[in-house]
């Protein structure tokens, strides 16, 4: 993979629960694109990651939320939302414990 500059990349922040599937990297930089393409890039780097984020049909799991610059992509265009260079994505699963 070509080396990305921070300006060209989208930063993806993973929750603690997924760090073990991403070689413990909390912040990952991938090329800009739609959220679907970002997830494809994550899957390419960390095989199996898509399973934790998406259902078999490819849609986001209902208890997983992705925030693009602080706004839930469900309120934008879902997985088709463009994540431009410099954007930050935060993946937030629902938290069950108590």
Partner 1 sequence: MSTRSTPLSETSATTPTAPDRSSRYSRQTLFAGIGPAGQERLTRARVLIVGCGALGTNLANLLARAGVGYLRIADRDFVEENNLQRQTLFEEDDATKGMPKAVAAARRIGHINSQVTVDAHTTDVTAENIEDLLDGADLALDGTDNFETRYLLNDACLKMNIPWIYSGVIASYGVSMPILPHETACLRCVFPTRPLPGTTPTCDTAGVLNGIVSVVTGMTATEAIKLLVGATDRLARGMTWIDLWENTHERLELPRMDDCPACGRGEYAYLDAALDENGVSLCGRNAVQVRPQQAMRGSELDLAALAERLAPVGEVASNGFLLRLRVDGYEVMIFPDARAIIKGTDDPAVARTVYARYVGA
State which of residues 26, 44, 51, 58 lies at the interface with partner 1 (CB under 8 A): 26
CB 79 within 8 A of CB 34: yes
State which of residues 50, 67, 85, 87 lies at the interface with partner 1 (CB under 8 A): 67
CB 38 within 8 A of CB 30: yes
**Window contacting partner 1 (CB under 8 A); options: 2-10, 34-42, 66-74, 77-85:** 66-74
- Name the 3-class secondary structure at 4: coil
**CA angle centred on 87, ends 58 and 19, rounded to 5°:** 60
Q: How far is CA 9 from the centre of its chain?
A: 13
Smaller CB distance to partner 1: residue 71 or 84?
A: 71
63 scored as a contact of partner 1 (CB under 8 A): yes
By CB under 8 A, the residues from 78 to 97 that bind partner 1 are 90, 92-97
**Window contacting partner 1 (CB under 8 A); options: 3-11, 30-38, 40-48, 72-80:** 72-80
CB 17 within 8 A of CB 93: yes
């Amino acid at each position: 993979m070509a080396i990305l500059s921070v300006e060209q990349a989208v930063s993806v922040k993973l929750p603690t629960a997924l760090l073990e599937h991403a070689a413990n990297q909390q912040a990952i930089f991938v090329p800009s694109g739609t959220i679907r393409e970002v997830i494809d890039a994550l899957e390419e780097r960390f095989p199996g990651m898509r399973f934790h984020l998406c259902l078999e049909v490819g849609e986001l799991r209902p208890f997983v939320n992705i925030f693009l610059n602080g706004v839930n992509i469900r309120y934008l265009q879902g997985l088709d939302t463009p994540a431009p260079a410099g954007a930050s994505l935060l993946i937030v699963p629902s938290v069950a414990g108590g």
